[in-house]
Amino acid sequence: AQTVTQSQPEMSVQEAETVTLSCTYDTSESNYYLFWYKQPPSRQMILVIRQEAYKQQNATENRFSVNFQKAAKSFSLKISDSQLGDTAMYFCAFVSLFGNEKLTFGTGTRLTIIP
């Protein structure tokens, strides 16, 4: 079974600064995807970014980028030029490409952007 670990329950950063959220995972599989989801105070889960395990290039979506280290089973999220709207819970998630597309989530990191 896969596990996803987010070791930072809470983080805070000043507006416009850069912040990195950590995620590690454990799996014996070689083909999988990793995701970061954002859950703002409204509580609707929003997909932020996706990384395919077979790709060496790190995914980037505007101010959001990942540092994917497959051998280390590490998948961190970097938020550049942080904005007040980035305040949210952030969840790392794993899905195997062989199965029924069930996501395994970490316990989340609560990020607060300070004005």
Partner 1 sequence: SQTIHQWPATLVQPVGSPLSLECTVEGTSNPNLYWYRQAAGRGLQLLFYSVGIGQISSEVPQNLSASRPQDRQFILSSKKLLLSDSGFYLCAWTKDFSYEQYFGPGTRLTVT
Binding residues for partner 1 (CB under 8 A): 33, 35, 37, 42-47, 50, 91, 95, 97, 100-103, 105-108
In the complex, least distance from residue 19 CB atom to partner 1, rounded to whole angstroms: 20
Identify which of residues 14 and 30 has a Cβ nearer to partner 1 in the complex: 30
Phi-psi domain of 73 (left: phi exceeds 0; alpha: psi -120 through 50; beta: other) = left
Identify which of residues 28 and 98 has a Cβ nearer to partner 1 in the complex: 98
Classified as helix, coil or strand, 19 is strand
Classified as helix, coil or strand, 40 is coil
Identify which of residues 9 and 85 has a Cβ nearer to partner 1 in the complex: 9
Cα-Cα-Cα-Cα dihedral sign, residues 96, 98, 99, 101: positive
Identify which of residues 43 and 115 has a Cβ nearer to partner 1 in the complex: 43
In the complex, least distance from residue 48 CB atom to partner 1, rounded to whole angstroms: 11
In the complex, least distance from residue 65 CB atom to partner 1, rounded to whole angstroms: 18
Classified as helix, coil or strand, 34 is strand
- Could you tell me if 11 and 21 are in contact, meaning their C-beta atoms sit under 8 angstroms apart? yes
